[in-house]
Amino acid sequence: MKALVSRAVFSVYRSLPPGVRYRLKAMAAINGHAAGTLDPLKALRDAEGKKRLDRAMDRVTSLLEAADIQSLENWRCLEIGCGFVPADALCFYLLGAESVLITDYNRILQFNALARAVAAAEGEALAQSAKRMVEPQIFAQRLDRLSRELARGESGLEGLGIRYRAPMDLTEESPGTNFDLVYSVCVLEHIPPAQIPAILSTLAASLSERGRMVHDINLQDHLDQEGDPFAFLRQDNSYDLASETDTRGNRVRDGEWQVLFGDLANWDTTIARRTIRADARPRQEDLLPEFAAMAEEDCFTGRVVAVTRRK
């Protein structure tokens, strides 16, 4: 009964306008990615939404295809910022990865929600997405093993070759070396700009000879991505870089990301995908001067997928 009431309250909360939700979280000191009292409910929302296993598999295979990666068989994978529900790591296992290290700045993984992400998946959609990269019979065998291992509890992750390392600060420590894939989705935009060069350098140094980095970066204001995706670029907005990078994003634009990746010695980075928002743009005269001076496509790019390979 308590769980049902909590879900009902959370559903009402999610129906509130983005700005109201943001202010409520700020008052309760639960904004951002630090551990908080609402984490189990946030995790359940993700498990039944964007982190549901079939949706995660569609995302993973799509990003790997964008990076021209045909197979993960026997690859060693690293995911940074895995969040509450590291369903993408389960996809790496299902696609043949030898091992997966999942890391986060805070220890917020919710195992019960991860199990829910598997149980809630639509089997046919999951199999169809996986079919892009693995034979159906092999996939079915791996999925069966995944279910058996997760039934053992959180320790079952290690049975799948998945290790969880958190808290982990990439400005101070290395995740290791010889990873064939370094991967993130909606993580790099939450890093303070001054820390980005050091973190990218650390991640590049962790790659194997054949290794690649694939980073899906959301360049929009996370306060209201649908209705007002570039609010934090306006002169009249109260955005504060020092305190709101973690919650709303760091405002680093497309061209600036290209420069940051381009500064990595011995590595080539291409923008494999770019989503430019044609809607909900502030007027040029309403932008802060540094953004008003940019080309419109640079300023109003909403999302990029950066793929880094050794030269």
Query: How do residues 160-185 score in pLDDT, each as one tens digit?
Result: 999 999 999 999 999 999 999 999 99
Structural domains of the chain, ranges and CATH numbers in brackets: 1-31 (no CATH), 169-311 (3.40.50.150)
Helical residues (DSSP H) of 67-110, grouped into ranges: 87-94
pLDDT digits (tens, 9 = 90+) for 197-217: 999 999 999 999 999 999 999
Contacts 24+ apart (CB under 8 A), 278-282: 280/226, 280/227, 280/228, 280/229, 280/230, 281/230, 282/230, 282/231, 282/233, 282/234
Whole-number pLDDT of residue 14:
61
pLDDT at residue 6 tops 60: no
Matching residue, tokens 């999942």: 102
Cis bond upstream, residue 167 (ω within 30): yes
pLDDT at residue 61 tops 80: yes
**Percent of the chain scoring above 70 in pLDDT:** 89
Record the pTM.
Answer: 0.91
pLDDT digits (tens, 9 = 90+) for 68-110: 999 999 999 999 999 999 999 999 999 999 999 999 999 999 9
Which one, of 168, 53, 151, lies nearest residue 107 by Cα? 168
Q: Radius of gyration over alpha carbons of the chain, in Å? A: 20
Tell me the residue length of the chain: 311
β-sheet with 267-276: strand ranges across: 162-165, 99-103, 76-80, 179-185, 207-218, 301-310, 267-276
